[in-house]
Amino acid sequence: MKTLGKKIRLLRHQKGWSQEDVARKLDISIPAFSKIETGITDVNLSRLDQISKLFNLSIVQLLSFNDSEEQLLYDRQLEEVSNKLRERETEVIELQKKVIDLYEQLHKSYEKLDR
């Protein structure tokens, strides 16, 4: 069942959901859901059905989720994180430019005062 838990965790990450989000949707505690993801708790058929519906999959699809799909999820997550990082880097560069401009304006103001 550890493989199933790993698959559920990957699907949860793909949706951008926290453990708390999924636990609430399944109407279980966060520790109970965490045990499902870590493979400590075996999932009964009823819970499996509930989880598969949550991710818009059939039980068969959830159970037959393979490594290539896992890799694809990791690749998507990596791409998303890389895009966010690039956006943040662009924001930082723009802020640095503003700081430099403000510094130059301040410096010019002080030069005028010294004259």
pLDDT per residue as tens digits for the range 22-55: 999 999 999 999 999 998 988 999 999 999 999 9
Q: What is the mean pLDDT of residues 4-12?
A: 90
Domain that holds residue 57: 1-65
At residue 25, the pLDDT reads 96
**Is 22 inside a domain boundary?**
yes
Q: What is the 8-class DSSP label of residue 41?
A: S
**Is 71 inside a domain boundary?**
no
Please indicate, yes or no, whether residues 61 and 5 belong to a single structural domain of this protein.
Answer: yes
pTM of the model: 0.57
Tell me: pLDDT of 2 over 90: no
CATH number, domain of 27, equals 1.10.260.40
Please indicate, yes or no, whether residues 3 and 28 belong to a single structural domain of this protein.
Answer: yes
- Best CA proximity match to 41, nearest among 84, 2, 82, 91: 2
pLDDT per residue as tens digits for the range 65-109: 665 666 777 778 888 889 999 999 999 999 999 999 999 999 888
Please indicate, yes or no, whether residues 55 and 86 belong to a single structural domain of this protein.
Answer: no
Please indicate, yes or no, whether residues 89 and 113 belong to a single structural domain of this protein.
Answer: yes
Please indicate, yes or no, whether residues 49 and 88 belong to a single structural domain of this protein.
Answer: no
Please indicate, yes or no, whether residues 44 and 87 belong to a single structural domain of this protein.
Answer: no
Tell me: pLDDT of 1 over 70: no
Please indicate, yes or no, whether residues 55 and 87 belong to a single structural domain of this protein.
Answer: no
Q: What is the 8-class DSSP label of residue 40?
A: S
Please indicate, yes or no, whether residues 51 and 2 belong to a single structural domain of this protein.
Answer: yes
CA 63 to chain centre: 22
- Best CA proximity match to 10, nearest among 62, 48, 50, 58: 62
Split into its structural domains, the chain has a count of: 2
